[in-house]
Chains A and B, each alone.
Chain A
């Protein structure tokens, strides 16, 4: 008689913990052929609020770390992901029904993307900040700073899109509440396990699974969220509604990007969109 396998319970990732939805709700996630993969947690409004609280609590410490330290932590995520690549390839194949070669390519690209962004932590300031030669006896310097707590609607797919939208925010010092792809949420929670064991402080990245159209409006209207990335919103009407809700506290909004080729090398814009510019003046004199 063959061994009965031990199945995994997929929960949320909030504040470094893996709680079930406080609502007690779950939803069925199927594989590409329509067979049951698992029941995923269906996050509630309260879960969303808890995630924002965790992200806010983590912001001061994370944004206050040295850029070198953030670089090492994001690089560490890549290392741990590399070590667990077989698991991720298997999950991608199961969830998306793709070939082994395609699954490998996705995982390769996700790891490489983390490495690419890790290196930006201590360079982005030099590339987008500058000294300003004002017409007077003043020192004047402009530097980028993270916007704060950013809500993200991740694009379709299990891994590469998710990594591509979260890594640029984390490496620049923002903290994140991400709504995983509704149809492929399971790998996002497994990625949470990787982040939880990569020296990333709890609360820097929080992952919610559930219904996009239900969760996203709560985050868009939350007054302690500073920005929202609508990359994964395919419904144009919903995207417009979310942008309207975001105006209540003037969140920085990144509009949907339906046709993004996630295998292509990114530009800087996923980092700069959620960076503020701070300019400091001081008189020069003796």
Chain B
């Protein structure tokens, strides 16, 4: 095997300030709450102090968003809104390297991914929805915005989730109050600077940092017309309860436990790449991760041999190293959860194998791990681990694969690997999941709707379908 010399990306391009305030009404303000620290999960180095928005701060942000909505943004033509969004897309491209490095530092994901996946799709997302702003009458959802959108996003794709939330909201004529996750606030705050550079009118985008209490204040604020959340199913249910009886429109993009189904006629080398990408991309911190491998019994041994061989070549370590495949676990808390569920997997009788790799002494790390001999009743087959841990089950017939794949309260994504076209389409029809990747996995695009069935949430983000979440489609809407 090859040895790789270190190839670190320079972090000189980013300028991390010692402390950050909130971005309200176009300006950075101190806020009235306390503050918290954000750390580099690869080193445990404290990166910055960040303001924790209080209920009063959230109220100020919602007021700013409401003013901007009433006085400026809802009165502006779609064509003019589009130009602001195009500006933002261009600045993201111009400052792409800086965003990628900062994302990897604050999140722990490999620079290869932040540079080649996250940031390019972020720019593309703004570019895509910019074009919708003056074409909404052709969308099928009318062109009446909702008002102020309260948006709460997770730490696994901080900037990408921000783009998925803000771009369609603004294109449809809404203004936003967005809370990034408490462990990954920095790229959202850099995005606030980008809004300033783009001369986006004050109050159209407001960024309030904080944890659960800040999120609750946004969701339950009476002057918020729309709630969009990406995160855990548990919090998603709490949000659904919190908005009950109100007029708030809600979209929830929650957890998953996707089956990645490999048939015996699949091109196995490609399938193994797909399995690896499905569960080890972004350290497995992916709601649509292919965390359950369903492999046809006749090829199970061969697939496992090839998979372990491939896993042994994964380079785990410094997120800023351009050779790194698997970066740091995002937080100590998440690492503890992954360790706990993995220990439960062993104690329930599954067989554990981890790729041999040297993990750095500091920071939060977990070696790519696979469990075999997993049954459907095992907790590692039922619960979202949200880490680089794969559970392997086997099947004999397509119907058994469908039954096992659908035997979960989730329904976000699924994968199918086979050379037989009619089987792909049959499986795609029968899998109860919002995204089905056939002979590929973990592909994302601004034009492609994303979102789940069942307890993976409701609503779609991306594509024409993503507009529905930000337009009034009920009896009060223009098209009803």
Task: Please report which residues of chain B, range 444-471, place their CB below 8 angstroms from some CB of chain A when the two chains form the complex.
Answer: 445-451, 453-455, 457-458, 460, 463-465
* Chain B residues whose CB sits within 8 angstroms of the CB of A128 once the complex forms: 140
* Chain A residues whose CB sits within 8 angstroms of the CB of B424 once the complex forms: 282
B275 part of interface (Cβ distance < 8 Å): no
The size bracket of the interface on B is 35 or more
B428 part of interface (Cβ distance < 8 Å): yes
* Chain A residues whose CB sits within 8 angstroms of the CB of B440 once the complex forms: 138, 281-283
A239 part of interface (Cβ distance < 8 Å): yes
Q: Which residue of A lies closest to B236 (CB)?
A: A250
B361 part of interface (Cβ distance < 8 Å): no
Task: Please report which residues of chain A, range 102-149, place their CB below 8 angstroms from some CB of chain B when the two chains form the complex.
Answer: 127-128, 130, 132-136, 138, 140, 142, 147
* Chain A residues whose CB sits within 8 angstroms of the CB of B124 once the complex forms: 135
B475 part of interface (Cβ distance < 8 Å): yes
Stretch at the interface among A197-205, A206-214, A272-280: A272-280
A238-280 vs B: 1/0 string, CB under 8 Å? 0111011011111011010100100000010100000011111
How distant is the Cα of A250 from the Cα of B460 in the complex, in angstroms? 15
Residue among A134, A246, A250 with max Cβ neighbours from chain B (10 Å): A250
How distant is the Cα of A164 from the Cα of B453 in the complex, in angstroms? 25
B230-273 vs A: 1/0 string, CB under 8 Å? 00010011101100110100001010000000000000000000
Known contacts being A243-B245, A244-B241, A269-B480, is A127 close to B448, with CB within 8 Å?
A: no
* Chain A residues whose CB sits within 8 angstroms of the CB of B428 once the complex forms: 278, 280
A181 part of interface (Cβ distance < 8 Å): no
Measured between C-beta atoms, what is the minimum distance from B263 to chain A in Å? 15
B473 touching A138 by the CB < 8 A rule? Answer: no
Q: Which residue of B lies closest to A247 (CB)?
A: B240
* Chain A residues whose CB sits within 8 angstroms of the CB of B475 once the complex forms: 257, 260
B457 touching A136 by the CB < 8 A rule? Answer: no
A138 touching B241 by the CB < 8 A rule? Answer: no
* Chain A residues whose CB sits within 8 angstroms of the CB of B473 once the complex forms: 269
A283 touching B439 by the CB < 8 A rule? Answer: yes
* Chain A residues whose CB sits within 8 angstroms of the CB of B276 once the complex forms: none
* Chain A residues whose CB sits within 8 angstroms of the CB of B464 once the complex forms: 130
Measured between C-beta atoms, what is the minimum distance from B71 to chain A in Å? 30
Contact of A277 among B244, B451, B480 (CB under 8 A): B451
A142 touching B448 by the CB < 8 A rule? Answer: yes
A79-119 vs B: 1/0 string, CB under 8 Å? 00000000000000000000000000000000000000000
How distant is the Cα of A250 from the Cα of B459 in the complex, in angstroms? 12
* Chain A residues whose CB sits within 8 angstroms of the CB of B240 once the complex forms: 243, 246-247, 250, 253
Known contacts being A267-B480, A281-B436, is A250 close to B252, with CB within 8 Å?
A: yes
How distant is the Cα of A283 from the Cα of B417 in the complex, in angstroms? 11
* Chain A residues whose CB sits within 8 angstroms of the CB of B438 once the complex forms: 280-282
Contact of B245 among A147, A240, A279 (CB under 8 A): A240
A136 touching B445 by the CB < 8 A rule? Answer: yes
A184 part of interface (Cβ distance < 8 Å): no
B245 touching A132 by the CB < 8 A rule? Answer: no
How distant is the Cα of A278 from the Cα of B437 in the complex, in angstroms? 11
Number of A residues with CB within 8 Å of any CB on chain B: 40
How distant is the Cα of A248 from the Cα of B236 in the complex, in angstroms? 10
B245 touching A252 by the CB < 8 A rule? Answer: no
A42 part of interface (Cβ distance < 8 Å): no
Main SS of the interface on chain A?
mixed
Measured between C-beta atoms, what is the minimum distance from B418 to chain A in Å? 11
Measured between C-beta atoms, what is the minimum distance from A125 to chain B in Å? 12
B17 part of interface (Cβ distance < 8 Å): no
* Chain A residues whose CB sits within 8 angstroms of the CB of B233 once the complex forms: 250
B450 touching A276 by the CB < 8 A rule? Answer: no
How distant is the Cα of A147 from the Cα of B457 in the complex, in angstroms? 12
How distant is the Cα of A278 from the Cα of B431 in the complex, in angstroms? 9
* Chain B residues whose CB sits within 8 angstroms of the CB of A241 once the complex forms: 244
Known contacts being A134-B448, A140-B445, is A250 close to B458, with CB within 8 Å?
A: yes
Known contacts being A277-B434, A281-B437, is A134 close to B480, with CB within 8 Å?
A: no
B443 part of interface (Cβ distance < 8 Å): yes
How distant is the Cα of A38 from the Cα of B434 in the complex, in angstroms? 47
Q: Which residue of B lies closest to A130 (CB)?
A: B464
Contact of A280 among B245, B252, B436, B463 (CB under 8 A): B436
* Chain A residues whose CB sits within 8 angstroms of the CB of B409 once the complex forms: 249
B433 part of interface (Cβ distance < 8 Å): yes
Measured between C-beta atoms, what is the minimum distance from A153 to chain B in Å? 15
Residue among B124, B445, B457 with max Cβ neighbours from chain A (10 Å): B445
A286 part of interface (Cβ distance < 8 Å): no
A277 touching B443 by the CB < 8 A rule? Answer: no
How distant is the Cα of A283 from the Cα of B446 in the complex, in angstroms? 17
Q: Which residue of B lies closest to A237 (CB)?
A: B245
Known contacts being A249-B455, A252-B458, A269-B474, is A282 close to B439, with CB within 8 Å?
A: yes
A236 part of interface (Cβ distance < 8 Å): yes
B479 part of interface (Cβ distance < 8 Å): yes
Measured between C-beta atoms, what is the minimum distance from A13 to chain B in Å? 27
* Chain A residues whose CB sits within 8 angstroms of the CB of B463 once the complex forms: 130, 132, 142, 279
A174 part of interface (Cβ distance < 8 Å): no
* Chain A residues whose CB sits within 8 angstroms of the CB of B439 once the complex forms: 282-283
* Chain B residues whose CB sits within 8 angstroms of the CB of A21 once the complex forms: none
Q: Which residue of B lies closest to A259 (CB)?
A: B475
* Chain A residues whose CB sits within 8 angstroms of the CB of B455 once the complex forms: 249-250
How distant is the Cα of A278 from the Cα of B438 in the complex, in angstroms? 13
How distant is the Cα of A237 from the Cα of B436 in the complex, in angstroms? 39
How distant is the Cα of A253 from the Cα of B286 in the complex, in angstroms? 27
A278 touching B447 by the CB < 8 A rule? Answer: no
A182 part of interface (Cβ distance < 8 Å): no
Chain B residues within CB distance 8 Å of chain A: 124, 140, 233, 236-238, 240-241, 244-245, 247, 252, 254, 409, 424, 428, 433-440, 443, 445-451, 453-455, 457-458, 460, 463-465, 473-475, 479-480
A-B contacts, 5 of them at CB < 8 A, read: A250-B240, A257-B475, A260-B475, A278-B435, A281-B437
Report, nearest first, the 6 A-B pairs whose CB atoms are least far apart.
A240-B245, A243-B244, A247-B240, A134-B445, A132-B447, A282-B438
Given contacts A247-B241, A281-B435, A283-B439, 16 further A-B contacts (CB under 8 A): A132-B447, A132-B448, A132-B449, A135-B124, A142-B448, A243-B241, A243-B244, A249-B454, A249-B455, A250-B236, A250-B454, A253-B240, A267-B480, A279-B435, A280-B435, A281-B438
